[in-house]
A and B are shown apart, each in its own frame.
Chain A
Amino acid sequence: MTIMADTGAHPLRADGLHLSFGNVQVLTDVSIFLEPGRITGLIGPNGAGKTSLFNCLTGLYRPKRGRISFGDIQLEDLPPNRRANLGISRSFQHMALSADLSVLENVMVGLTLSRTTGWVGAFLPLPASRTESVAANRKAMSALASLGIASAAMMTPAELPPGTLRLVEIARAMVCEPRALLLDEPAAGLNAVETRDLMRALQRLIHPGLVVVVVEHDMDLIMQLCDQIYVLSAGRVIAYGSPQEVRRDPEVIRIYLGDPDD
């Protein structure tokens, strides 16, 4: 379990993805190109297939057809843990934190792949495992601090409101310094202040080697945060471009505001 040594910039791309469950076609010929150094938004009505696309990219779903690649590496046949190994990290739309762990420990789970303590160190207080644990602690703490929730570190998820838990999820996804960060509705349940903190944290986070994809319903956030936007509807990409272009797209307007002829 080691993270790949090279830290170069790689695009994450999907070509002609088809995904279906039984007779229900979820994704139809979806192709996206996610550039490193830019924040890509993924928007669309409920049921458009945004989360399914995420699940295909991270390996939880296996598309029926199509290719997914990260740099030169083909991902279709890799299980989720191998993709995580390549530096692809994500947050979940539905909170996926452990109630048995403190907030800080939940974030430290994000560092699992970069930690090397063996089984002996798991049971004995060896100096090496202690050093590593302190370092992981510090990293997790600074991830929480960058989202403004360091004070919640020692609490358990049950003691915190959904908005804060959402930020904990994001802290866990970004603590391992991923090369691709996929955030599924990061601002759902956040208040205005928390959303602003989140946006600032993401803007600070972005660097030329990092692919960031955000699925979100908060249009203001998406328009301010993203460099490019894909619009999905009924499992197809119906529009792509800069926030300004997407905002003007007649098809997008029709989907979001309803057809004026109806």
Chain B
Amino acid sequence: MSDMAQATKRLRLARGGLLDLRNLGAAALLCLLLALPFVVGGFLLYTLTLCFANALGALSVSLLVRYSGEVSIGHSFFVALGAYAVAIMEKQFGLSLLLSLPVAVLLGIAGGIIFAYPSRRLSGIYLAVSTMALALALPEILVHSEKVTGGFEGLYVTLVPLPSVAKELQRYYIALAILVVACLALAQLRGSRQGLALLMARAHPSAAEAFGITRGWARVSVFAISAALASVGGAVMAFASSTVSPNSFTLWSSIFLLVGSVVSLNRLTLPAGIIGGAFLTLVPNYLASAGDWVPILYGAALVAVTLCVNCASDIRLLLARRERP
């Protein structure tokens, strides 16, 4: 049994808790972000707040890729669910973000399940194309249900949860807090019964069934979580930008979310989310003068990242082979 005791000890060391280097990196980044408003202000703070919202969107696509191996080019639909939930709750009932956020989560879950159940047997390109249908249909739905959604004009989000604190600051901190909580929840999911089951269903669906994990359950669960996360991203986006309109939820926004996910290497950590979100937020901002070039530059960045990642894994393999003759 000493073998087992030793292994248990190693396990504890490997999990290293707070001393883990990666955790330290994330903690350092968090401290930096927490301190930032004392140093900078105005436009940069606003941009970072949008970045947190986009980070949630990128993470939602990454989650789908990680846990089901599928790709969505329609996630702007779920983002819009959250964004409009916040705007409509404010317009109809006068509720601010913290009260409308649970509604956004529930809507996201429901939306994810309603989409995933009928499409549970699709995969790969077929599923991707069916998600595209969501993205294509969405702007039309929003424009035509003008009474609720405000049509082309969209809706404004002006309420803030804490009336006494500066709007800009609470937008920043609330968005950051939601992003951090989401990342912690995702870390918890990875080690949970469901997380392990989903990863097994992704790797070997028939083996997973032999342990009681059905494909349908796996697909619907992943979509529900991913859509809920996207919806939270949308809610934060509406709150951060104080307006929602159909323009922000086109097929292109879905594709950009996918790009953000790829740029962050489909990882589900705070730094990766920030990288994906920053890419989605900053690149169009700084390239605003580039006009038509934006999609091309996006494409180039996507190709570059994909190639670099492949190279990196090749190099890692090569090194591993050298070490183990």
Contacts and interface: CB of A to CB of B under 8 A. Distances in A.
Given A109-B213, A111-B193, A145-B7, 15 more contacts: A79-B214, A80-B206, A101-B196, A108-B196, A117-B193, A119-B194, A122-B195, A123-B189, A124-B188, A129-B192, A133-B192, A141-B8, A144-B4, A150-B4, A151-B6
A58 B199 contact: no
A122 B192 contact: yes
A104 B204 CA distance: 17
A54 B211 CA distance: 15
B10 A154 contact: yes
25 contacts: A80-B206, A80-B210, A81-B214, A92-B207, A97-B203, A100-B199, A100-B203, A101-B203, A105-B196, A109-B211, A113-B211, A113-B212, A117-B193, A117-B194, A122-B192, A133-B191, A133-B193, A141-B4, A144-B7, A148-B3, A150-B3, A150-B7, A151-B10, A154-B11, A154-B14
A152 to B, nearest CB: 8
B268 to A, nearest CB: 12
Nearest to A99: B203
A123 B213 contact: no
Contacts of B200: 98, 101, 106, 109
Interface stretch (A83-91, A230-238, A253-261): A83-91
Nearest to A82: B212
A92 to B, nearest CB: 6
**Interface on chain A toward B: helix, strand, loop, or mixed SS?**
helix
Interface of B: 1, 3-4, 6-8, 10-11, 14, 66, 185, 188-189, 191-197, 199-200, 202-204, 206-214
A133 to B, nearest CB: 7
A111 B189 CA distance: 16
A117 B3 CA distance: 30
Given A85-B212, A112-B193, A96 B204 contact: yes
Interface of A: 1, 58-60, 79-81, 84-85, 89-90, 92, 96-101, 104-106, 108-113, 115, 117, 119, 121-125, 129, 132-133, 136-137, 141-142, 144-145, 148, 150-151, 153-154, 172, 176
Given A81-B214, A154-B11, A109 B208 contact: yes
B188 A115 contact: no
A117 B233 CA distance: 26
A60 B7 contact: no
Nearest to B207: A96
Contact of A121 (B66, B192, B210): B192
B3 A145 contact: yes
A101 B213 CA distance: 16
A112 B213 CA distance: 8
